[in-house]
């Protein structure tokens, strides 16, 4: 671990592998009754529903049926055939959600999101697509003056009433390195993204500004198993997929979902629940996401539940100080993706997420993939060296990139190799 990473360690947390207290890894292939899961059919009909229920109860909360059945309206705000120097077709779509009957949504609740879509101009359509939420507003993902900037949330000043504000012009393209949109387009992939704050501001005490309030009353959200913001962001990903599956430019049977860090947790949960996502590219989703919480290395349940209580079901806080006993864990979350293509990415400098835990979690999920006769990284054996991806030609791949908690071109290059290998290279125009 680089000295700079060590210098960034939050004090009071464990970083030493040698000091991990003995723990029992939850077994994806053991039913709550103790019975072994021995077939793919049994996985699908018995273990998968059992696990989804556990994640609803103890971590993400239950997404209300009214939200799953939401009435949504789509409006194409702008369409451009010659975006990004003629390399892309760009669409900007507004998705608006009707509130559930009987829920008195506050006037502040989020009603819509703006989806930004780029489709390669020089490819045979329909195109495979990668979908992921963004942190900085749509205009941050690539330097393109044609993007309608989304208003972004920041912590309101003392006494001021909270409202999102247009981003400064300097924010245009600021996360272009993280998104690599020209690279994706050049490889024949379409990409779609939306600003996560359109659905819920990532700030404490702001639930009335959340799309959750269209389907749940304020009192509903206090219930132990109520959905949190991560579930709302995951829900939004599924609503985008509803729309994208109807778009003739998009191959709705080849849609990968991706997310980084907290948005990786949201993407993990979206893909776990919604099997229409045909692949998951999970970047450093860490604790509450792809890593193994019971190792107790890096971030804890207490840190998550105290810093971001609104991300989770209220019940989650019950597990503070009991990281080794929580009934759900990263290996179970990743198992829920089987047998769909799954790429798990860590960064060596991201000790807070416990990269080695992320690898062990991947290996545990591999046992479930093998029930489906899917090829995977080896479920046994040591972790690969830094910058040595494993399983690229299989259904379940992993790498530990050098460098910090981030999404880099290197990550995308591996993701595209992995998708090419699983789905076949997208065809170019003659």
In the complex, which residues of this chain contact ligand GTR (CB under 6 A)? 261-262, 286-287, 299
Nearer to ligand GTR (CB atom), residue 187 or residue 287: 287
Nearer to ligand GTR (CB atom), residue 93 or residue 267: 267
Nearer to ligand GTR (CB atom), residue 200 or residue 299: 299
Nearer to ligand GTR (CB atom), residue 198 or residue 299: 299
Specify whether the CB–CB gap between 267 and 287 falls below 8 A.
no
287 is catalytic: no
405 is catalytic: yes
CB of 155 to ligand GTR, least distance (A): 14
Nearer to ligand GTR (CB atom), residue 140 or residue 261: 261
CB of 396 to ligand GTR, least distance (A): 23
* Catalytic residue (one of 210, 261, 346, 353): 261
CB of 72 to ligand GTR, least distance (A): 27
CB of 4 to ligand GTR, least distance (A): 17
Active site residues: 261, 405
């Amino acid at each position: 671990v680089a000295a700079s990473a060590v210098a960034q360690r939050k004090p009071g947390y464990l970083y030493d592998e040698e000091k991990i207290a003995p723990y029992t890894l939850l077994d994806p292939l053991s039913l709550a009754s103790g019975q072994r899961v021995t077939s793919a059919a049994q996985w699908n009909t018995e273990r998968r529903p059992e696990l989804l229920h556990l994640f609803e109860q103890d971590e993400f909360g239950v997404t209300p049926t009214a939200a799953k059945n939401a009435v949504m309206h789509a409006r194409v705000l702008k369409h451009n055939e010659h975006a990004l120097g003629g390399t892309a077709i760009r669409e900007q779509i507004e998705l608006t959600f009707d509130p559930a009957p009987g829920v008195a949504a506050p006037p502040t609740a989020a009603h819509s999101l703006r989806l930004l879509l780029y489709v390669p101009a020089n490819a045979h359509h329909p195109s495979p697509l990668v979908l992921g939420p963004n942190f900085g507003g749509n205009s941050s993902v690539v330097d393109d003056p044609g993007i309608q900037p989304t208003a972004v949330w920041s912590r309101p000043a003392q006494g001021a009433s909270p409202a999102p504000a247009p981003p400064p012009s300097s924010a245009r393209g600021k996360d272009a390195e993280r998104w690599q949109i020209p690279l994706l387009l050049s490889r024949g992939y379409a990409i779609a993204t939306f600003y996560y704050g359109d659905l819920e501001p990532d700030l404490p005490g702001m639930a009335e500004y959340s799309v959750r309030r269209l389907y749940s009353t304020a009192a509903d959200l206090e219930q132990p198993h109520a959905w949190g913001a991560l579930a709302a962001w995951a829900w939004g990903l599924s609503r985008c997929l509803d729309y994208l599956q109807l778009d003739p430019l998009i191959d709705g049977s080849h849609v990968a979902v991706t997310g980084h860090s907290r948005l990786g947790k949201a993407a993990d949960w979206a893909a776990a629940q919604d099997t229409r996502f045909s692949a998951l590219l999970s970047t450093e989703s860490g604790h509450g996401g792809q890593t193994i919480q019971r190792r107790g290395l890096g971030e804890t349940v207490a840190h998550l539940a105290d810093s971001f209580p609104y991300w989770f079901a209220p019940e989650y806080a019950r597990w503070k100080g009991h990281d080794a006993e929580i009934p759900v864990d990263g290996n179970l979350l990743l198992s829920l993706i089987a047998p769909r293509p799954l790429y798990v990415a860590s960064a060596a400098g991201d000790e807070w997420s416990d990269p080695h835990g992320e690898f062990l979690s991947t290996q545990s999920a591999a046992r479930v993939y093998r029930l489906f006769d899917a090829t995977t990284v080896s479920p046994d054996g040591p972790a690969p060296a830094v910058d040595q991806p494993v399983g690229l030609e299989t259904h379940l791949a992993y790498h530990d990139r050098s460098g910090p908690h981030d999404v880099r071109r290197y990550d995308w290059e591996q993701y595209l190799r992995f998708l090419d290998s699983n789905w076949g290279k997208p065809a170019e125009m003659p």
